[in-house]
Structure 1
Amino acid sequence: MDFRRIISSTKSNKIVLAVAIAFLLMLSSVSYKQISNMQKSANLVAVSLKIDTEINNLFSKFSLIEAAEYKSIILKNSAYNETYKYYIQLTENSLSKLSQLTSNIPKQQHYLDTIRQWRDSLDISVTKLNAYQNRLLEDRDSLITKEVNNVASIMQKLKQARLDMTQIKEALIKQRMEDYTTETFFTPIISLLLVLFSLVGFVLAFIKINKDHEKLIKTQAYVDNIISSSNNAITYLEPILSTDNKITDFTISYVSNKIEENTGLKASEVTGKTISEVFPSIMTNGVFDIYIKCIETGKTQTYERCYNLMNQEKWFKSIATKLETGVNVTTIEVTKDKRNNENLKNLNERLYIKNTILNNAEVVAKIGSFSRYPETGIIEMSDNLYRMLGCKPNEFEASLENYMSFIHPDDLMKFSKAADRNLKSEKLKETYYRVVTNKDQIKHFKSSTVLIMEDGKKKEVGVVQDISESIKKDKKLKNRNKALKRSNAELESFNRVVSHDLQEPLRKIQMFISMLSNEAKEKLSERSIAYFDKIDNSAGRMQMLIKNLLNYSRIDSSHANFEIIDLNKKLDKVENNLSDRILEADVEIIKSNLPTIKGIPFQMEQLFNNLVSNSIKYRNLNKKSIIHIDASVVSKDQINAEFIKTHKNYYEIIFSDNGIGFEQENAKKIFNIFERLHQNTEYTGTGIGLAICKKIVENHHGFIQAIGEPNKGATFYIYLPI
């Protein structure tokens, strides 16, 4: 047993202290009792001496009464009667004092009662003697002699009572003197023991305090070492009270050196100052109220706050505890934990969103997922896989047997073989089968499974897709492909007819009209000549329409002939081809550097040609015509046009003019084939030019839109993917 540990333990110290205090109190009590007894004995001895004195005084009065009475008889003089009465009164006073002094001595009280009776008898006899002396009676002498004898007898009894009282008094004095001697003997010894014990206790207490002081110094050094090496900043705050005892501020009485790392302030710089002076934000961010609540309720308060320290936002977690009259605050920086928690929270939110998206995606895409552990037979199915079978999530226990109960009987053997095959290979396997749902619907499923290893165990992971609609669409697509092939064949036949069979009669019509016009021109009237001109113009328009229609039909979406194209060169070629028209119309073209793209050269040339021709055709005759051509790179987020943007960045090519413009409500109509906003008498054309532009841009996965305003011009925006 470790006695040192027991002796030095706090519990043992408390027990020893309690025993020492009890023993000290006992000695003090005994000492006090001894002193009290000694005082009591001294008082009793003094009372005994007073009793002795008073007894002597009493019986001396009786002796004086006897002597005075005898003197009165001898001298036959009754003048001593007054003296007698005086002595009688003195005896009464002595008896009263003796009665008080012997109140706790029953025997003495008994003798006093007897003495009072004899005194009364003496008074009667003395009264008779005085009466006999003043009368002349025959038997006067005999009566006096009788009463004298009676007085003598009473006096003898009084003397005997005195002897008895004296004996009682002497025995009592002897006993009290013995008690007093005993008390005076033990009282110094007990007092000495009390002093010795106190001295021993003082020495032991001094040794204990000295050891505790040394231990306290070591403990303080140990605590200081812990505090200095701890990540916590320790602060002790003492409240500052107003005149009405309200807390108005706190003084920083102690702060650990950790504060310098957290705030950049040294402990010596802030000790003794107020928190409103060092950390003014505490007075407004609720922390000051927390300190007050901690002091008023005595309950520990925990809180977190963010501070801007050393040009950084730092989070701190603090615990405020009431200590004596102040507040002890333990603070630790939790910035990293806060950020990690925030990141974890954001990650959980993103994970939740992704899971939600995945679940929604399963519903939208009509897919479900499952996982199977071959060794244990455990299967996990997604909620949507249950729905795909016409059941509620978790409506039945997920197992291979229960799932196979939904397989179409004709596909059951194929599915069973595929399930066994998938467990023997780690490659992705696909299985097609039909199921009969809980609502008796037949659906076509496609399972894609792969075998993986998880914690050293095999796990089959699969995705099930409802391809019923796809199969229906495949059938429709096959039918449409057949119809499309027929349409393409018919279109090819039409192109041949347009390019050969229709143009041949037009050429003959134009040739014969020209010949007839040259031969019979002089014989025809002006009206007939006008008719011939209209026929010739109509034949020319018909030929141009057929030519444009052929151009439109020949634009396809094939990318096999995409090439690197410098659009600057294509624009230069277009300007050269249209130079006569540009010069005739006095059109100025202002252009910036155009990009180099991948595309079909002749289509891009036709695009530029149609747009420039369109601006020349619809120019404003009342002012000089100017065409601006500009290009830049924009992100898809910068494009306001509504179309499906499949690329991150696009080339934006802008064609703008100051021509007659158009109403914005017709912005989409102008790109329709054969759609024209003006009559042939105003502006010639077939209404195919802008339709060709739209088809060329879409063929290059781009988008074209037009913005116009009457009499102010039109602007065409072309977006081509980079």
Structure 2
Amino acid sequence: MNASYQTLQNRIVELENELAGMRAAMLNTENHAQDHRTTGLGNEFQAASAYEKNCWNETQARIRESEERFKVIANIAPVLIWLSSPDKQCYFFNKGWLDFTGRTMEQENGFGWAEGVHEEDFERCLQIYNTNFDARQEFSMNYRLRRFDGEYRWISDRGVPQYTESGVFLGYVGGGMDIHDQINFAESLEKEVQNRTLQLKKSEEFLQSILNTTSNSIASYEAVYDDAGEIYDFRILYSNEETYSQHATRFESIIGRMCSEVYPEIFEKGVFEKLVKCINTGKPDAYVTDYQNSNGTFWFDASIESHGNRVTVTARNITEELEADLQLKELNQKLKIQNSIFNHSEENANFGSFALTLATNKLECSDNLYRLVGHLPQEFTPSFEQFISFLHPGDRQRAIRDGMRALETRNLVQNDYRVITKDGSLKYLRLSGKFIKEGGKQIMIGAMQDVTKDIQLNEALRLKNIELKRNNEELASFSYVASHDLQEPLRKIRAFSSRILEREQHFSDITKDYFNRIVSAATRMQKLIEALLSYSNTGSSEASFVPADLNKILEDVKTDLEDLIEDKNVRIEASELPVLPVIPLQFQQLLQNLIGNSIKYSKPQEPPVIEIHAELTHEQEKNGLYWKISVSDNGIGFDQRYENRIFDLFQRLHGKSEFEGTGIGLAICKKIAQNHHGFMSAKGVIGKGSTFSVYLPAETGK
């Protein structure tokens, strides 16, 4: 896995985390509002709710923007990207994956992707996926995946668990890379190095035998002087057949001929000057030069010795040696690059590798393994004892036992250990590996990965779960207090105040007015408590969906409101409503609240007219088909600016002296719509009336 692939995958993880964070922010906003509602902050929360609603809308917009950006980046990424939900089912594959497999998103979704895994890798691949998924831990694995042309190619796949900021597990994001050519290259490279090493050994033995056989590598030249006593050429006194074989065009007899005629190149490459210098000084010399003919270029390593006016040149053909050396350098360069890629991958993945030869107890470690314990590469001599000294005292005995058990069973079990680094900080390292045989030797190879963040996140999640459990218990206690302890004093206040007014006739009108206000306030408080309990119970997960005729539910609502309808002379006009899977009691409460509101906020001198109808509509923003059930009236209406505000808890657009109510009815309607995977909207015109609409998914409706 190269650096660009790692960087791209990290960016994808960041985008997925960003989306998770935004969804968590929306949940936190709702929870924050719930906390204020349950503590009864009243008017102070009214000011904050509008800000929270704006944050909610902004967060939704950012989520849509981030989701689109994520899809664009994922689809142009030169890697295979997948996403899975908490139930292990994969629900997204990028264009790179689909182009590679030649399959559609529908074919790959769920566990469809596993159909392309090679049968020899399938069980291992699935075990790694399920084991790590159940443990909520990062994993990587190599397996063969069927390409669109039917060829199975090796894929390096990495999966990373995703959480919200509050610790809710969202599933996995993963990325794969085609490493088929790398694996084949590494295998062929290893074989080539072995073959080249053997060839070099044979070449060295052969060249040494040539060097030891002087008759195959010797030539003798005699200096030729001009009138001034200067050497201007050399006459060939002797040259063996080895020399001839490298100069086939001159294989005819060259004895007695001049070097300028047979070897003119020595005058161009500085060899002639060295021969002259050797005779003039009497000191031996050496040179390396090349000769060319129709058979190619040949390199020689030669030494010169003088004997009066003669020189003996002993030459060794190093052509094959130089070629082998050049090829070996190229192989070493490729190995260096490959090692650099692997080392960089270790740094990016935050793990280090090691190899322990059991026969010699020799331990070799990668550079990044040193860094994981806070040291520089090669800063200390690695050993089992040395690494035991880095462990937290509480983990040392367990590590020793695990090591002894691994040596006995030849099975290294994955374990986590606490490590104290050089600077004193604490890390959690995860040890994994296996035993292999190489050259007849038993070797334990493995890796140590820094999982500190994973451990810390798991611990934070555990503490959050404890806190959530405690909060749930406190909420349950509050519900009990609200339904029993808080209502009992209110009932007594109402009862005793009423008795005093009935029995005591001497009170002044002012005193009676005070008592009536006490009874009225206690009544409103009791209704508010009951409404809060109703709102709290609306979110209960125990309710189940059943197909229900909404026309029948409407008739039940009209029966419940029969007295109020007659008193207000209400006319209700309803069209045919559909049969939908709903929670009957909750949906009946929703319709009752909406119709009750229309009656409550009717005009004093005009009989209320309420129209109810349903229609199928495609909602662009939700990208789906919905049943839109609307309740319209001819009442006092409201200012459209307050469309979102009226669905919040305790939000009233009119004073309590004008209209009775707790300010919770529409909030309950909104929550019921959300329980049905839908939403609500409101439209109003002051003095004309209002329309409240609830949208329910239409996939299973009639």
Which of the pair is proportionally richer in strand? 2
The TM-score, its normalising length taken from structure 2, stands at 0.39
Q: Which structure is richer in relative contact order (CA contacts within 8 A, separation 6 or more)?
A: 2
The TM-score, its normalising length taken from structure 1, stands at 0.38
Which of the pair is proportionally richer in helix? 1
